[in-house]
């Protein structure tokens, strides 16, 4: 039992870097677009509307996520560019797969 308690941590310390190195190989190719957090995405969506709803939303997000209007003012253009880049990438992917022209199936009576 003592042997297991002594060798298991050592074995984990040796195996962990190897496993972490292999996980990096399995990741998909990096996106050319900047990453956008879900909060930033929602802020960009609100910014497309009126200013009052954006201010109310950011005030709520300040309580929950620590985002304030100064952060929004400084980062909104970068967030918009990243969101637009991701939309264009998704549209290009849809065009490649042929799903852009496919209309949804609607049940008829």
Domain holding 59, by residue range, is 39-96
Q: Is residue 81 a part of any domain in this protein?
A: yes
Determine the Cα–Cα distance for residues 78 and 33; give it in Å rounded to an integer. Answer: 11
Determine the Cα–Cα distance for residues 16 and 8; give it in Å rounded to an integer. Answer: 12
What letter does residue 33 receive in the DSSP assignment?
Answer: S
Q: Is residue 51 a part of any domain in this protein?
A: yes
Span 18-66, pLDDT tens digits: 545 544 444 556 678 888 899 999 999 999 988 898 999 999 888 889 9
Q: Is residue 14 a part of any domain in this protein?
A: no
Q: Is residue 33 a part of any domain in this protein?
A: no
0.75 surpassed by pTM? no
State both tokens at 77: 């253009």
Q: Is residue 64 a part of any domain in this protein?
A: yes
When pLDDT is averaged across residues 1-6 and rounded to a whole number, the result is 59
Q: Is residue 88 a part of any domain in this protein?
A: yes
Q: Is residue 87 a part of any domain in this protein?
A: yes
Report how many domains make up the chain.
1
User: How many CA within 13 A on the CB side of residue 93?
Assistant: 7
Q: Is residue 1 a part of any domain in this protein?
A: no
């Amino acid at each position: 039992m003592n042997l297991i308690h002594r060798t298991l941590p050592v074995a984990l310390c040796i195996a962990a870097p190897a496993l972490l190195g292999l996980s990096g190989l399995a990741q998909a190719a990096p996106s050319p677009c900047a990453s956008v957090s879900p909060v930033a995405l929602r802020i960009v969506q609100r910014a497309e509307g009126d200013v009052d709803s954006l201010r109310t939303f950011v005030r709520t997000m300040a309580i929950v996520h620590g985002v304030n209007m100064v952060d929004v003012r400084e980062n909104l253009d970068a967030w918009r560019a990243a969101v637009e880049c991701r939309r264009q990438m998704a549209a290009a992917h849809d065009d490649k797969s042929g799903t852009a022209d496919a209309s949804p199936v609607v049940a008829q009576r």
